[in-house]
Structure 1
């Protein structure tokens, strides 16, 4: 039974690290497919992926978080998410190494981001949950794409492909 403030999340892996995003922003999970590369885009922007006749800007989440790139595997997935960035609602694809679970985390179990010992920018993180297997880092998409330039690049991606 879920309590008030509990977070249901899609849990996924990037290398040995485990992350999660709220279920409410994840529209669907698809198998990896090649993206149409956008010239002069940042290295973390893979390009556009067609999803149900929609051009979706797709991000290599590993690169965006500053992790080393990894080879594609049969477990590589793309999370299609609805994100609010710079006062705009955008549909994004986030390439992840593997999807692990859908889990519910008690609000009381979500710890604030530690001041030290975290290798990611604190703006990227909503909180951390301890599990029997280690930590799950709850990501904040608005924090990850915090700069106006990031949101502008993603919002302009479909326009760039059509030009």
Structure 2
């Protein structure tokens, strides 16, 4: 039990030259990129739906969601199918990544808070930053990324509720 509190496993992937990570426990599978079924009137980062083992999963262009330029598909483009805990339920999402690299362990002591300067996206979506020889790895807080202004995604699976 002690190792789980001091070390966690993450899947690393790139968006352009930037390296990001998500906790391995939320990654259901990694798929080759296929064009999703388009959903009319969705936000620009919602590319559409993809059939994943008989279930429609919303596919998100994470680059657009983070305020970057849209993904240009290559032979390395992948979709990470994630089960993201949001509020009182789990949201299944497909995130488009330019390239998926590896599963790596990070010690808690390696994870720094997000800097306020030099970051091109809103830092409240960053769970932490890890320094590596080749640069930094940004750990994304998926629950925050898809719960605040990501309400259009949440309403795909359940009707919006008024609090």
What TM-score do the two structures reach when normalised by structure 2?
A: 0.90
Separation (CA, whole Å) in 1 of partners of 2:83 and 2:157: 15
1:46/1:58 contact within 8 Å kept: yes
2:147/2:154 contact within 8 Å kept: no
Task: Report deviation, 1:113.
Answer: 1.0
Matching residue of 1:114: 115
Task: Report deviation, 1:71.
Answer: 1.5
Separation (CA, whole Å) in 2 of partners of 1:13 and 1:113: 18
Separation (CA, whole Å) in 1 of partners of 2:20 and 2:77: 15
Separation (CA, whole Å) in 2 of partners of 1:130 and 1:156: 36
Matching residue of 2:150: 150
Q: How many residues get paired? A: 157
Q: Over aligned residues, Cα RMSD in angstroms? A: 1.8
Matching residue of 1:35: 36
2:146/2:153 contact within 8 Å kept: no
Task: Report deviation, 1:156.
Answer: 3.3
1:48/1:157 contact within 8 Å kept: no
Matching residue of 1:89: 90
1:11/1:18 contact within 8 Å kept: yes
- Extract unaligned runs of 5+ from structure 2: none
What TM-score do the two structures reach when normalised by structure 1?
A: 0.90
Task: Report deviation, 1:155.
Answer: 3.2
After superposing on structure 2, the runs of 4+ consecutive aligned residues of structure 1 that deviate more than 3 Å are none
Separation (CA, whole Å) in 2 of partners of 1:146 and 1:57: 15
2:113/2:128 contact within 8 Å kept: yes
